[in-house]
Chains A and B, each alone.
Chain A
Amino acid sequence: MIEVRNLTKHYGDKKAVDNISFTVENGEILGFLGPNGAGKSTTMNMLTGYISSTSGQALINGVDVLEDPIRAKSFIGYLPEIPPLYLDMTVKSYLNFVFDLKRCKLPRRSHMKDVMTLCKIKEVENRLIKNLSKGYKQRVGVAQALIGNPPVLILDEPTVGLDPKQIIEIRTLIKRLGKNHTVILSSHILSEIQAVCDRVVIINKGVIAADDTASHLSEQVTTDHRVIARIEGEKAEILQALRAIEGTKYVRADMEREKGIWEFEIEAEPGRDIRRDINAVAREHEWNILMLKNMEMTLEDIFLKITMGEQLGIGKEDTK
């Protein structure tokens, strides 16, 4: 469905995207993960024909985006990072404009109704886009991508700037769309990609760092050996006891969160789950554990882990 071959983009001397290749099968949801400035948007802009590539090829449905841009673009629904909304139009007239712009052949009224119902914007159809909340604007952005029912959807950071409830709504929507569309979705949030995508391509500094299934990736980045614990008791004693646990590599006392309750960062050897040991220590000294959670792995950690292939230390001072 989508085939990217050795795609490269230079801006002057700077390589924004450097020789990346990947394919997306029919009906697959591909997550494009990377920090800001990694080249996600640049890649998407090349796929949609907004900018040209310096070298390499992007094929949509077997059509080269540079050779036959109009036909290639007709297969794609695109939501750019900033949705291309005309603020002084109503939702309905804007979507009608997009319908005409894409020279859509579907029955107008029913298609329009389907799209608006799917994106849950039917109730604001007669309001000016500039008066809508960010969440509604984003959904109108998704709706314009859906007009014409294109087989490929390319969504650039569709949940950025939304509140948690809206994020869940958009994710549910994308999952539903993934059933009969091929979707590429970019994000810099790992959990988002994990929640929605079948497959993940991780991109960093313009090159692909990993291309894997979402479940396989999550296995790689489990953090059972890195925990944060809040324990009630005497700080020095706890620290000493925790350090005495077999297999711990690193223990650091953080701040006093509540009166008499301290937060600790504990890292054990990779693959060793030390949560039970911490509990055992606490029981032994009759301390109360008030919180125990795995440390989230940040995107930077994952890059380092995947690109350098090394296990990471926690509690780097610069992350505080």
Chain B
Amino acid sequence: MGAIYRREIGAFFSSSIAYVFLAVFYVITGFFFAMDNLAAGSANLSSVFSTMFMICIFLVPILTMRLFSEEKKQKTEQGLLTAPVSLTSIVLGKYFAALTMLLIGVSIVFIYGVILSIFGTVAWMTLISNYLAILLVGGAFIAVGLFISSLTENQLGAAVGGIVCLLLFFLVDTLAARVSVPWLQELLYYLSFYSRYYEFTCGIFNLSSVLFFISTTVLFNFFTVRVFEKRRWS
């Protein structure tokens, strides 16, 4: 797992993906930070955090798109799959590499926090809980993106598929509001990533949501392992 993790981190930085990801991440969050906090004179970072959710929908698939699709296309997966390592550790190595990139991106909020603390008081506990929340959501997104990347050998297909899939998780909310069947509505709300995440930006640290995001992550990583398992046995 360590070898794959280190290789992927290296590959992120030797290709342009890491720089594009971080640059776009910083520019957009920086814009909202400048507008809603600095210009508006507010110490409440919740608008930065709600923007991050949307950024993740579009940027996480970019991060995960080539992780498996490129291996398949370049036939390098044969090297991984015939090496004395388990499928789980291959998947997790790649998962944690992408998560590390996300971590580097999201950690910018601590710099925003420090800047704000010059002008006023910052609710550090809220900031930290928001920070953990975006990592949990982003972590689940990465697992979904990784799964989609394992299904195709086309990077672009994996990226578009990932974005569409994550947008669906986001749109479930809007759909739920229009559904009149109570149990279905409840189910859709239960599945909604955004309403769960929104709670966090309001400062509510809901343990069931934490579990929801972690189980989504585990589930999709498990699916990815199954994709390879199934291909081997087909």
**Taking beta carbons and an 8 Å cutoff, which residues of A are in contact with B?**
48-52, 70-71, 73-74, 76, 78, 80, 82, 84-89, 93, 97-98, 100-103, 144
Query: Is B79's CB under 8 angstroms from A80's CB?
Result: yes
Residue B4 at the A interface, CB < 8 A? yes
Q: Which of B7, B81, B82 contacts A86 (CB 8 A)?
A: B7
B123 part of interface (Cβ distance < 8 Å): no
- In the complex, the answer to whether B82 meets A50 with C-beta atoms within 8 Å is yes
Contact partner, B232, options A50, A86, A89, A100, Cβ 8 Å: A50
Given A71-B84, A74-B84, A86-B11: A100 in contact with B6 (beta carbons within 8 A): yes
Asked if B85 and A48 sit within 8 Å, CB to CB, the answer is no
* A73-B83, A97-B6 given; A88·B14 CB < 8 A: yes
CA distance A73 to B7 in the complex (A): 21
Partner of A97, one of B7, B15, B75, B82: B7
Report the bound CA distance from A168 to B87 in whole Å.
Answer: 37
Question: Is B233 part of the contact surface with A, judged by Cβ < 8 Å?
Answer: yes
Q: B51-77 toward A: CB 8 Å interface, digit per residue (1/0)?
A: 000000000000000000000001111
| B interface, over-half SS | helix
Cα distance, A51 to B10, chains bound together (Å): 29
B31 to chain A, nearest CB (A): 32
A93–B6 alpha-carbon span in the complex (Å): 11
Docked Cα-Cα span, A88 to B8, in Å, equals 12
CB distance from A249 to the nearest CB of B (A): 48
Interface size, B (range): 20 to 34
- CB contacts (< 8 Å) of B3 on chain A: these are 97, 100-101
B84 touches A80 (CB 8 A): no
Q: Are A86 and B85 closer than 8 Å at their CB atoms?
A: no
Could you tell me the distance in whole angstroms from the C-beta of A246 to the nearest C-beta in chain B?
A: 57
Complex CA gap A100/B10 in Å reads 14
- Bound form: Cα–Cα A74–B76 in Å: 18
Beyond the given pairs A78-B78, A98-B83, 18 more chain A to chain B contacts, judged by CB atoms under 8 angstroms and listed by A's residue number, are A50-B82, A50-B232, A52-B232, A73-B84, A78-B82, A84-B74, A84-B78, A84-B80, A86-B7, A97-B3, A97-B6, A97-B7, A101-B4, A101-B80, A101-B83, A101-B85, A102-B84, A103-B85
Q: Are B83 and A86 in contact (CB under 8 A)?
A: no
Given B4, B75, B233, which contacts A80 in the complex, CB threshold below 8 Å?
A: B75
List 23 A-B residue pairs with CB atoms under 8 Å apart, sorted by A's residue number: A48-B82, A49-B81, A49-B82, A50-B82, A50-B232, A70-B85, A78-B78, A80-B79, A80-B82, A84-B75, A84-B77, A84-B78, A84-B79, A84-B80, A85-B76, A88-B11, A88-B14, A97-B6, A97-B7, A98-B83, A102-B83, A103-B84, A144-B79
Question: Which B residues lie at the A interface, using CB under 8 A?
Answer: 2-4, 6-7, 10-11, 14-15, 74-86, 232-233
Which DSSP category, helix, strand, loop or mixed, fits chain A's interface?
Answer: loop
Question: Known interface pairs A52-B233, A86-B74. Does A98 touch B79 (Cβ–Cβ under 8 Å)?
Answer: yes
Cβ–Cβ contact B84 & A86, under 8 A: no
Query: What residues of B have a CB within 8 angstroms of the CB of A49 in the complex?
Result: 81-82
What chain A residues lie within 8 Å of B11 (beta carbons)? 86, 88-89
A87 / chain B contacts, CB cutoff of 8 Å: 74
CB nearest to A82 among chain B residues: B75
Q: Nearest-CB distance from B89 to chain A (Å)?
A: 10
Minimum CB distance partner of A48 in chain B: B82
Cα distance, A50 to B228, chains bound together (Å): 10
Distance A71 CA – B84 CA, assembled complex (angstroms): 7
CA distance A50 to B76 in the complex (A): 12
Distance of A256 from chain B, by nearest CB (Å): 47
Most chain A CB inside 10 Å of its own CB: which residue of B3, B83, B86, B232: B83
**What's the least CB distance linking B141 to chain A, in Å?**
25
Are B75 and A93 interface neighbours, CB within 8 A? no
Which chain A residues lie closer than 8 Å to B6 at the CB level? 97, 100
Residues of chain A within 8 A (CB-CB) of B15 are 88
CA distance A100 to B57 in the complex (A): 33
Q: Which of B4, B84, B86, B232 contacts A51 (CB 8 A)?
A: B232
Q: Across the two chains, which residue of chain B brings its CB closest to A78?
A: B82
Residues of B within 8 A of A97 (CB): 3, 6-7
Q: How far is the CA of A76 from the CA of B2 in the complex (A)?
A: 21
A170 to B6, CA, bound (A): 31
- Inter-chain contacts of B7 with A (CB < 8 A): 86, 89, 97
